[in-house]
Amino acid sequence: MIPLSNDDVRTIDRILQHIVDNVPNRLKVDHLVAMSGMSRTRLTRGFKFLFQLTIHQYWLEVSMDYALQKMQQADVSDERSINVRTAILNLLP
């Protein structure tokens, strides 16, 4: 593993927060790389080192948690629940 500086850790934490703040939007790793100013390798390996998940795995977990919360808030017979189910299907790769 390449050593991470304190700045790297802060940057990766900022990327993690960006992922959380932008659920349920799809995020491209290339966009996150551009935001971070880090190389793709450094960002992806650093993220995996710090959180034991790839960026995609983390996004998927956060997105599924978001979708579950939305489903729990909606009544199954309600039209909103149909929209939530559609949103979930759109999240899947």
Q: Can you give the three-state secondary structure of 31-88, one letter per residue?
A: HHHHHHCCCHHHHHHHHHHHHCCCHHHHHHHHHHHHHHHHHHHCCCCCHHHHHHHHHH
pLDDT tens-digit profile, the chain (93 residues): 678 999 999 999 999 999 999 987 888 999 999 999 999 999 999 999 999 999 999 999 998 888 888 777 765 555 555 566 666 666 665
- pLDDT at residue number 89: 65
Predicted pLDDT of residue 39: 95
Q: What is the pLDDT of residue 45?
A: 96
Domain locations in the chain?
6-91
